[in-house]
Every structure is written in structure tokens, then in C-alpha cells.
Chains A and B, each alone.
Chain A
């Protein structure tokens, strides 16, 4: 099962919405996944345990070895489906 880390500034608000949208999209596509949340500041120390990093804010907290997808579109609704497809592409 692939593991996704969703990060935002405080790790409590926008990441909650994005994590839920990822879980729902994966469920709809039959993709097993575990989704965790954290603060952007915690990403560098945690990301290695995950297969994909998704952020709402801009990730500038160092370098990570996992792919990173910006998910602001899941908040604004602009090109939301394309962003979900991109995320699913890493998890299938």
C-alpha cells in the first residue's frame, strides 16, 4: 500500500481537506492508500517514510527524495481533476 504525506502550514486545516479528497479519489479508483498529515516544517524529517508528498503551501523546507505534488487546485477548484489524476498516477 502506498503512503501519502499531506502537508500544510499548520498541518491542521487545508491538509485535512486535501487528505480527505485524496482518500476519496483513491477509494473511487480502488487504490489502497494510507494518508497522513503534518506541518510543512516537519516534512523534511518525515518524507522519507512516504511514497508521495502533497502540499498546499509551497514546500521550501529542504530536499526530499519522494515526488512532490502541489495541491492548491484541490482548494481553489481550478484544474482539480487534473491534480487528482496526477496524484493517483503516483499511487496506482
Chain B
């Protein structure tokens, strides 16, 4: 992923999350603290998820890929949240459906219609359910980070 920032600080092991809004807030706050996104990013993520949810029903371990408009982003980057307990997200293709999500891949895109390499790798990861299962079942943050780096970078 050329030009995309991703390091171990961008992997969060999230516990005690009660709903999608808490998850999105935690991940967006982390990105904001790192200066990767602007203060407006979190609200944009929350608003966007209500209107166009991002839960993907993979048939295995479901994943959400929240993202917001490029104007809220400082640096092209991703941040991954692993949920200890599944949290219900609305499905992208059927917004009325709720699906249990175990991993959130938050995308901060700097340019529209760009970052194809990163987006394709994220989609490859989503489709590699054996790897996703391995990642979400790993309790060790360093191992999670290593597995993600091998796939994405």
C-alpha cells in the first residue's frame, strides 16, 4: 500500500463495546489523536454510517469498513479495530439488517477514486476468511498487526 500509513498504533483491541457507535467513535478518536484525520472526521463517520452503513456480510467473520469524505482526512491511512465480542452493525446492502461484526477496518482516504491498491488489498483481506478468522481469534495485538501488515503492506 504505497503512501498509506499503517503501523501498530493503528491496531486497536477493543473490549466492552456495546454498539456500533461506540466502536466507530473509539477508532475515529484514535485516528484523530494520531493526527491522521481532522476533528470533523468522527462525526462524518457516524453520520455516514447511519445513512449508508458499511457492514459486510461475508458468510463467515463479518467486517465493517467505515469511511468518510476526503475533506476530513489529513493523511491516507487505515485503522483496524478487533472486537473481543461481536457488535451489531447495519449491512451495507440491506441497511435494515443487523449483522454481528468482529473486525472494523476504518479507511481514511485522501483522494477520491484513488488509493485503488489499498482498497483492493482491504477487499482481498475481507475475502480471505481463513486469515480474518486467524486475526480475530488472536488475542495478541502484535500478532494481529504482523498478520495485517503481511496482507496489506
A residues in contact (CB < 8 Å) with B: 8-14, 16-17, 20, 37, 40, 56-58, 70, 72, 75-78
Contacts and interface: CB of A to CB of B under 8 A. Distances in A.
Given A16-B113, A16-B116, A57-B52, A10 B68 contact: yes
Contacts of A8: 52
A14 B112 CA distance: 11
A57 B66 CA distance: 13
21 contacts: A8-B52, A10-B48, A10-B68, A13-B109, A13-B115, A16-B115, A16-B116, A17-B116, A37-B113, A40-B52, A56-B92, A57-B92, A57-B95, A58-B92, A58-B94, A72-B56, A72-B93, A75-B123, A76-B56, A76-B58, A77-B126
A56 B113 CA distance: 15
Contacts of A78: 58-59
Contacts of A17: 116, 119-120, 123
